[in-house]
Amino acid sequence: MSDLVLLTGISGFIAKHVALDLLGAGYRVRGTVRSSAKADVVRETLKKAGGAVDRLEFFEADLIRGEGWDAAAAGCRFVVHTASPFPATQSRDKNALMPPARGGTLRVVKAAAKAGVGRIVLTSSVAAIYYGHSAKWRTRFSEADWSDVESSHISDYAMSKTESERAAWKAVEAGGPELVVVNPAFVLGPLLDRETGTSAELIRTMLKGRLPVVPDITLGIVDVRDVASAHLRAMTVPHAAGRRFILCGGSMSMMDIGRMIALADPSAGNRVPKLVLPDFLVRAAAIFNRQARAAVPELGRRKILATEAAEQALGIDFRPPRDAVAAMVRSLKELDLAN
Ligand code: NAP
């Protein structure tokens, strides 16, 4: 049986860790990149991190185009679909990310089915689970929940993750490859190279002292090393088929993230956030600022994410968020990205 895995978006923060784990477990990895110029960078990064890059190859494919996906999926036993835009800012148009996210996911699922792939692992997000629920009393969320795309508060990103995951489930309803979905919370942890991405940019901004005040927002956090393990297990654990798995190591307020950064790097102690913005100021800013508007429904909310499924079925023993923050700070410093 083929040991070839198609890993879409291999240049991404999460995907490079997934690639390392796949190579470490003896698989051959075919990574997709939008431009071949990225392939050399990824190869170098994975080689430096100890990956067996002789089992690594690259195919070019863009989620917004049809070309390349059939060829990329041909001969693969598994597909791990991580590629999707994860922008740091919100668009005014809530459908802005749908062509690469939903359209791209459908292209990947179709190509996988055509190639006779056995199982697809889709990187969805908690953004497909817990947004758009306005009732404040709603605190616990599980794999049974879906973000409400009809809500006026839904962001383009949450919309893209919810709709692409729904489309993937629908596409395999009538048969084809098995589907397993992982829904990570906000992913932190070590960077493998200087490509930061949205996750690292938040920590970097705090480290540099560019975020002196933060809103009263709490984030679920998961370490990228646990996210990578979860992808591998989602790919191989037989009874994972047909299920979603929330990935989260715990929650932390923005202020606490700042405190953790200062613990990991005492020299940043006077640069991390010092003050929680009063809610009324965030609400006032929301009148003219889209990012503030997106923050309003999250103010003061402490969402609890059910992680029993990932712990029990995938055997993930989640690292605490403080380890993920500390590891990300260490890597930013080592990569000379902290100043
Ligand atoms: P990232 O570093 O920005 O990686 C995104 C990847 O998607 C990159 O490889 C990017 O390719 C690729 N991509 C974007 N648009 C594409 C297109 N039109 N065609 C082909 N490839 C495209 O983000 P990440 O944090 O690793 O996220 C990876 C996945 O995890 C995404 O699906 C994201 O929604 C999900 N996720 C992330 C988090 C988090 O906190 N980081 C949490 C939950 C879920 P280029 O390098 O060419 O841009």
pLDDT profile of the chain (339 residues), mean per 10: 93 98 98 95 98 98 97 98 93 93 98 98 97 78 95 91 98 95 98 94 94 92 98 98 98 96 93 90 83 83 93 98 98 93
> 339 lies in a domain?
no
Whole-prediction pTM: 0.97
How far apart are the CA of 14 and the centre of ligand 1, in A? 8
> 258 lies in a domain?
yes
Among 16, 38, 94, 161, the active-site one is: 161
Ligand 1, atom 46, lies closest to the CA of 11
Q: Which atom of ligand 1 is nearest to the CA of 99?
A: 18
Taking each helix axis from N to C end, the angle separating 156-172 and 104-115, rounded to the nearest 10 degrees, works out to 20
Q: Which of 6, 231, 260 is nearest to 118 (CA)?
A: 6
Instruction: Give yes or no for residue 100 CB within 6 A of ligand 1.
Output: yes
Which domain CATH number covers 277?
3.40.50.720
Q: Is 38 annotated in the active site?
A: no
User: Would you state the pLDDT for residue 301?
Assistant: 86
> 179 lies in a domain?
yes
Mutate to test the pocket of ligand 1, among 42, 64, 84 (most ligand atoms within 8 A of CB): 84
User: Would you state the pLDDT for residue 136?
Assistant: 66
> 318 lies in a domain?
yes
* Cα–Cα distance, 39 to 331 (Å, whole number): 22
Cβ atoms of 227 and 263 closer than 8 Å: no
Ligand 1, atom 47, lies closest to the CA of 34
> 103 lies in a domain?
yes
Instruction: Using only the alpha carbons of the chain, give its radius of gyration.
Output: 19
Q: Which domain holds residue 114?
A: 4-334
The number of domains in the chain is 1
Instruction: Give yes or no for residue 160 CB within 6 A of ligand 1.
Output: no
Instruction: Give yes or no for residue 189 CB within 6 A of ligand 1.
Output: no
